[in-house]
Amino acid sequence: MNIVEYKDHDKLIPFYASRGIEVSKQFENPPIFSYIIEDESALVAAITCSEILGTFIIEAIAVSEQYERQHIGTKLLGFAVAKAKEMKADNIILNAKNPILFEKNGFLIIRKEDVPVDSYSYCFECPDYQVTCFPKIMKYNKN
């Protein structure tokens, strides 16, 4: 299975939503790249990233249920991190409800006050934030 660029970012939103990713009708920040993995024309996995002032934001990453636990998410995440570094990213950040995958791949949990851009997520404005929803803010920390 190969990783290929996918230019129609918004067409990935239903896939992300089907995997429990909270994305409305469009991404919060304009995507700069999306990559997918397909198997016989079925979508296996996808990742979408945006960028604000040199900080790359992983807006969404998801793997189809039947392909979970096959290291496909790790492969796709590593590819996106390498792409962001190639594009001279100052930082790579994300919000994670389940931070385990990201912790295993060089991301550390940081405080909201340590986010390198002023505002990158509507998540912080949601009435459920830190009430019933507790995402971890994470930053890539490998050289």
For 119-134, the pLDDT digits (tens) are: 667 677 777 877 887 7
Distance CA(50)–CA(30), nearest Å, equals 6
What pLDDT does 107 receive? 96
Distance CA(122)–CA(103), nearest Å, equals 23
State yes or no: pLDDT of 103 exceeds 90. Answer: yes
Distance CA(84)–CA(66), nearest Å, equals 28
User: Is there a contact between 44 and 63 (Cβ–Cβ < 8 Å)?
Assistant: yes
Look up residue 44 and give its two tokens: 């296996």
What pLDDT does 1 receive? 79
- Give tens-digit pLDDT for 17-62: 899 887 766 787 889 999 999 988 789 999 999 999 899 999 999 9
For the chain, the domains span: 3-140
Q: Taking the model in full, what pTM does it have?
A: 0.90
* Reported confidence tier of residue 64, pLDDT bands at 50, 70, 90: very high
Look up residue 22 and give its two tokens: 């909270």
Q: Name the CATH code of domain 3-140 (choices 3.60.130.10, 3.30.420.40, 3.30.1490.20, 3.40.630.30).
A: 3.40.630.30
SS (H, E, C) 60-115: EEEECHHHCCCCHHHHHHHHHHHHHHHCCCCEEEEEECCCHHHHCCCEEEECHHHC
